[in-house]
């Protein structure tokens, strides 16, 4: 009798095993890809205009952001003042060419400038000097970037009792490569002479130095030795490449010059606006004792105002209110500080005929700078004399300039302020998980009080690295909350903005640079996806998903060259992919796939960073939608920021309809 057809005893376990494995694979797939529905209410009655000032930049003199950074001066310690007022003093980073048998240099107090009295005396001792001569050199800020064919403007003050023949050169750091040279004859006189020359480079070297040499025995004094590239931005003294990075962000305001730089560890080292204006040669400079380096203050109050104008950004002047980290001025004697701030406002806003406005006009800016925002100190709310001092400044400024918006250091996000203010300052530096969880911070803030100015935000602890993808995603989620709450949040800026790779006092930062290179961290590129938000229209948005605790989103409509777009930004802070269905109601027009784009910021590892060797490892990747039938593929990658820019046409309301795991544009 033949055997019955069926499964053998060994076949059944195998099938069961395959079935179990299949179930596990299916479960795994369901685990990996989450689902969510994002609904945008674009109806006019629920739409709201975002303040024109929402996103800007905050510049602090930290990490050599200014001196040796955006300020293009190539000579470090150009006036020999960094060693202090007592002589002899340290002239670092200046050094000598030759040895102590052929040259002797020392500082003295013989300068022709009363506010910076230190000068350098160079005595050449040799009758038969070595080939190439002896002298002094300055390596700038970790080397000078000298580029072939470019012109560099030299200015220096010299005097010599006898005729002296000098050679000024741009060379490699070891002096072996000569990039440019000019011979200068100094007439013997007891008076100081201002010398100006143009040096045109005939080679390239990223770590060059400026050197001044002679073969003739004698004595020569030097002071205020400056070397500036001729191609600074608009001729205003700023590094063009770094300004371009700021322009790309389309900042609506510039907060300056700090930060802790404004306060100082001690008031004697705080930033003083008066000392930073007028001819650059006459500025005394000062030691920034918070971030521990000297600044010649070539980048001063006037230059900050000029930079604001060049960026098309509203200046936000953070002034010292008589408080540093370690000492305070009693309110009873704060009046001179109040007058000082009023004078600073007259310098910016006064007519060319006013006392301080005339100083501004003499510097080349006849028309006033429209300063409409001032911050009364920095992070001083808990200090003993802050409230008393604050009211003195507030009342005096309100009387003189009733249109100026005043910013308190005290946080009003969770409880009312006990003093008048137009805005309150809000600073947050924390780890990525905490900042992501703060995306709803301002949901509960009272709408009756002053507006919020989130002037410093960033992820900065261990998961930030030197600028990680993870940090940028938490920050993006936080910003979606600021957009949604922009009826109470008026301004926001990341911090710090710049870091010179040779002086990382603070990590991370938005823009990293050295003498000739620069790149944006993921936090910089994240901000690029928010640059159209200021002045746009924000719409209510909801997320329905079991996975919504790892998602954050916002929706705006904005215009560019007459074209309108609906932008939906979604942050996936989790480690799973998410398939999202986006729907809109109340839009009142159709979506044109031609001109619509999807931009994604992500990478293979959440701790990935950009660097000089891989400056675009973590950058937004943008693709175009080809037609109305093209898939939008609203599948969010793990740990990603996705921005959908949907071009709006004149038609009826639209929604995004799911079909075959794709998302097609259709009318309802």
* Residue 192 CA to its chain's centroid (Å): 39
pLDDT, tens digit, 9 for 90 and up, residues 133-185: 999 999 999 999 999 999 999 999 999 999 999 999 999 999 999 999 999 99
Average pLDDT over residues 30-42: 81
CA distance 396 to 402: 10
Domain boundaries, the chain: 34-47+540-648, 56-71+233-536, 95-229
CA distance 336 to 246: 36
Is the model's pLDDT at 189 over the cut of 50? yes
HSE on the CB side for 218, CA within 13 Å? 19
Give the pTM.
Answer: 0.91
Is the model's pLDDT at 283 over the cut of 90? yes
Q: What architecture (CATH level 2) is domain 95-229?
A: Sandwich (2.60)
pLDDT, tens digit, 9 for 90 and up, residues 210-242: 999 999 999 999 999 999 999 999 999 999 999
Residue with the bigger pLDDT between 458 and 21: it is 458
Is the model's pLDDT at 116 over the cut of 50? yes
- What's residue 650's pLDDT? 59
Average pLDDT over residues 1-28: 37
Is the model's pLDDT at 246 over the cut of 60? yes
Token code pair at residue 51: 């303040």
- Rg of the chain taking only CA atoms, in angstroms: 30
Exposed e or buried b per residue across 191-223, where buried means at least 16 C-beta atoms within 10 angstroms of its C-beta: ebeebeeebebebebbbbbbbbbbbbbbebbbb
CA distance 387 to 377: 11
CA distance 590 to 585: 11
CATH node for 56-71+233-536: 3.20.20.80
| 638 DSSP assignment | S
Is the model's pLDDT at 339 over the cut of 80? yes
pLDDT, tens digit, 9 for 90 and up, residues 564-597: 999 999 999 999 999 998 888 998 888 887 888 9
Average pLDDT over residues 85-93: 96
Q: Which band of pLDDT confidence, cut at 50, 70 and 90, is reported for residue 656?
A: very low
Helix (H, G, I), strand (E, B) or coil at 571: strand
Give percent of the chain with pLDDT exceeding 70.
91
The residue behind tokens 């992501």 is 436
Average pLDDT over residues 499-508: 97
CA distance 596 to 609: 29
Q: Which band of pLDDT confidence, cut at 50, 70 and 90, is reported for residue 124?
A: very high
What is 34-47+540-648's CATH number, 3.40.50.720, 1.10.10.370, 3.40.718.10, 2.60.40.1180? 2.60.40.1180
Average pLDDT over residues 549-562: 93
- What's residue 653's pLDDT? 35
Distance (Å) of CA 193 to CA 111, 156, 158, 196, 580: 11, 8, 5, 10, 71
- What's residue 33's pLDDT? 75
* Residue 65 CA to its chain's centroid (Å): 9
Average pLDDT over residues 305-311: 98
Average pLDDT over residues 13-25: 36
Average pLDDT, the chain: 91
């Amino acid at each position: 009798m033949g055997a019955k057809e069926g499964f053998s005893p060994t076949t059944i376990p195998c099938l069961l095993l395959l079935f179990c494995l299949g179930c596990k694979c299916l479960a795994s797939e369901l685990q990996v890809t989450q689902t969510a529905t994002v609904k945008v209410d674009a109806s006019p009655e629920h739409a709201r205009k975002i303040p024109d000032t929402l996103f800007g930049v905050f510049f602090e003199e930290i990490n050599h952001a200014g001196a040796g950074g955006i300020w293009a001066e190539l000579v470090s310690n150009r006036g020999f003042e960094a060693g202090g007022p007592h002589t002899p003093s340290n002239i670092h980073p200046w050094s000598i060419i030759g040895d102590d048998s052929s040259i002797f240099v020392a500082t003295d107090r013989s300068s022709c400038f009363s506010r910076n009295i230190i000068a350098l005396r160079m005595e050449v001792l040799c009758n038969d000097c070595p080939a190439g001569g002896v002298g002094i050199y300055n390596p700038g800020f970790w080397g000078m970037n000298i580029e072939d064919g470019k012109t560099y403007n030299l200015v220096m003050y010299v005097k010599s009792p006898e005729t002296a023949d000098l050679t000024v050169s741009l060379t490699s750091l070891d002096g072996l490569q000569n990039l440019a040279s000019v011979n200068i004859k100094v007439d013997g006189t007891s008076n100081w002479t201002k010398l100006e020359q143009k040096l045109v480079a005939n080679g390239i070297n990223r770590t060059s130095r400026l050197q001044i040499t002679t073969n003739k025995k004698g004595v020569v004094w030097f002071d205020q030795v400056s070397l500036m590239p001729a191609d600074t931005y608009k001729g205003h003294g700023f590094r063009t490449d770094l300004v371009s990075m700021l322009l790309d962000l389309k900042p609506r305001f510039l907060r300056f010059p700090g930060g802790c730089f404004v306060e100082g560890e001690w008031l004697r080292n705080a930033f003083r606006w008066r000392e930073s204006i007028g001819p650059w040669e006459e500025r005394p400079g000062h030691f920034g004792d918070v971030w521990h380096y000297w600044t010649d203050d070539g980048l001063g109050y006037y230059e900050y105002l000029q930079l604001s104008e060049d960026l098309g950004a509203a200046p936000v002047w953070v002034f010292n209110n008589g408080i540093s980290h370690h000492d305070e001025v009693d309110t009873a004697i704060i009046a001179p500080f109040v007058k000082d701030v009023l004078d600073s406002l007259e310098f910016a806003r006064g007519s060319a005929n006013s006392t301080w406005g005339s100083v501004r006009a003499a510097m080349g800016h006849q028309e006033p700078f429209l300063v409409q925002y001032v911050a009364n100190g920095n992070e001083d709310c808990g200090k003993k004399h802050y409230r008393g001092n604050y009211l003195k400044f507030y009342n005096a400024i309100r009387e003189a300039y009733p249109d100026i918006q005043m910013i308190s250091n005290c946080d009003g996000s969770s409880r009312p302020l006990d003093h008048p203010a137009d805005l309150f300052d809000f600073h947050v530096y924390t780890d990525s998980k905490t900042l992501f969880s703060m995306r709803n911070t301002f949901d509960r803030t009272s709408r009756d009080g002053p507006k919020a100015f989130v002037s410093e935000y960033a992820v900065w602890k261990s998961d930030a690295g030197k600028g990680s993808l993870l940090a940028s995603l938490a920050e993006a989620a936080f910003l979606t909350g600021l957009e949604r709450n922009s009826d109470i949040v008026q301004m926001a800026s990341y911090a710090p903005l710049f870091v010179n790779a040779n002086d990382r006092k603070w990590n991370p930062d938005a823009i990293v640079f050295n003498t000739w290179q620069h790149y944006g961290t993921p936090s910089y590129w994240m901000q690029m996806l928010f640059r159209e938000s200021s002045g746009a229209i924000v719409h209510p948005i909801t997320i329905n998903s079991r996975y919504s605790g790892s998602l954050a989103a916002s929706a705006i409509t904005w215009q560019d060259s007459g074209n309108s777009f609906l932008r939906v930004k979604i942050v996936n802070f989790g480690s799973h992919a998410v398939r999202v269905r986006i729907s809109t109601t109340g839009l009142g027009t159709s979506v044109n796939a031609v001109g619509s784009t999807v931009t994604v910021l992500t990478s293979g590892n959440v701790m990935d960073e950009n660097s000089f060797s891989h400056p675009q490892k973590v950058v937004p990747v943008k693709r175009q939608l080809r037609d109305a039938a093209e898939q939008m593929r609203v599948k969010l990658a793990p740990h990603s920021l996705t921005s959908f820019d949907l071009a709006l046409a004149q038609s009826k309301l639209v929604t995004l309809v799911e079909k075959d795991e794709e998302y097609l544009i259709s009318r309802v």
